[in-house]
Amino acid sequence: MLEHRFAQLAAACTFLLLIIGGMVNPTGSSLACPEPTLVCHGQVFPEMTGGVLYEHGHRLAAMTVGMLQIALTVLLLRRRRGLRALAWTTLAMVIVQGGLGAVTVAYKLPWIVSTAHLMLAMTYFATLLYIGWQTRPATGAPPPLTPGARPWIHVATGTVIVQLLLGAFVRHSEATLACLDIPGCTAAEWFPAALAQRIHMIHRAWGIVTGLVTIVAAVQVYRHAAGWRALRALMLAAPLLVLVQIVLGGYVVLTFRSVPLAVAHFAGATALWGIWATAWFMTSLRDRVVAVPG
């Protein structure tokens, strides 16, 4: 169905938008375009070099996602009665997200606004995944799932949300390189008094928790999902991804925030969030919204 394809396209483009946005901070391009609008140095299409490439490229990508969202909203309003609230909600998310981006630039990167900007983007991404799952073609009853799986999915999803928030604090409080030793913060202390160092170390510690929870939860859900190939595939991917994330996090520090590694680390976090959000939707939804003929 057309609305299903549009939801998938919007989710894929939002994932790419998040990755493009993840390049802005590590490259030091956050204020490369001083105007809090769709123009950069007075031009809609300035010379795309240096920081402008990342910052204005992010804005243009965001505009593309916004246009896709408008089309998706129209489709849902016309064809999916039960998803009309979500149609308006996702459109509102995009509008608020654009406003937060403008405020971030206008007020020179306040960390709390930048963090809200990132977390809303993650919420919007998950909501698109939800819409895509709700609008999928009918495939009959879902495979059986024994009761023990759902609590593990809840725990893993909550753990990842906390880690995303901590990662946003690290990024936007400039704490990425506050601790340069591994495993401790410095050669002398594991948990120094400086706020930036504490934020960094809490993120590290919760990353280990996230890794352990993801591995245990994935094993448990896999055991309870016999015959459900799609869900089992997600449960195989999650532990591998979280282990790569831990390694990438270490190398981001050891390489003094190498841009490719920092972006890969952010992409992995987004993908892990997408995996657990999808597992949540797959195992909780039983009834789909009826499409409107024509």
pLDDT digits (tens, 9 = 90+) for 63-85: 999 999 999 999 999 988 889 99
Percentage of the chain exceeding pLDDT 90: 84
Q: How far is CA 36 from CA 21, 29, 32, 115, 282, in A?
A: 15, 14, 11, 17, 39
Give the pLDDT band (50/70/90) at residue 140. low
Percentage of the chain exceeding pLDDT 70: 96
For residue 19, the SS3 value is helix
**Total Cβ atoms within 10 A of residue 121:** 23
Give the pLDDT band (50/70/90) at residue 288. very low
Cα–Cα dist 6/4, whole Å: 5
Would you say residue 153 has pLDDT above 80? yes
In sequence order, what are the residues at sequence separation of 6 or more whose Cβ sits closer than 8 angstroms to the Cβ of residue 89?
127
For residue 261, the SS3 value is helix
Model confidence pLDDT, tens digit, residues 22-57: 999 999 999 999 999 889 999 998 999 999 999 999
Give the model's pLDDT for residue 98: 94
Rounded mean pLDDT, 169-185: 93
Segment 194-200 long-range contacts (CB within 8 Å, at least 24 positions apart):
199/166, 199/169, 199/170, 199/173, 199/175, 200/170, 200/175, 200/176
Rounded mean pLDDT, 191-207: 95
Give the model's pLDDT for residue 285: 59
Cα–Cα dist 202/170, whole Å: 9
Give the pLDDT band (50/70/90) at residue 284. confident
What does the angle CA 212 – CA 215 – CA 216 come to, to the nearest 5 degrees?
A: 85
Give the model's pLDDT for residue 137: 83
Rounded mean pLDDT, 204-218: 97
Cα–Cα dist 180/283, whole Å: 41
Would you say residue 291 has pLDDT above 50? no
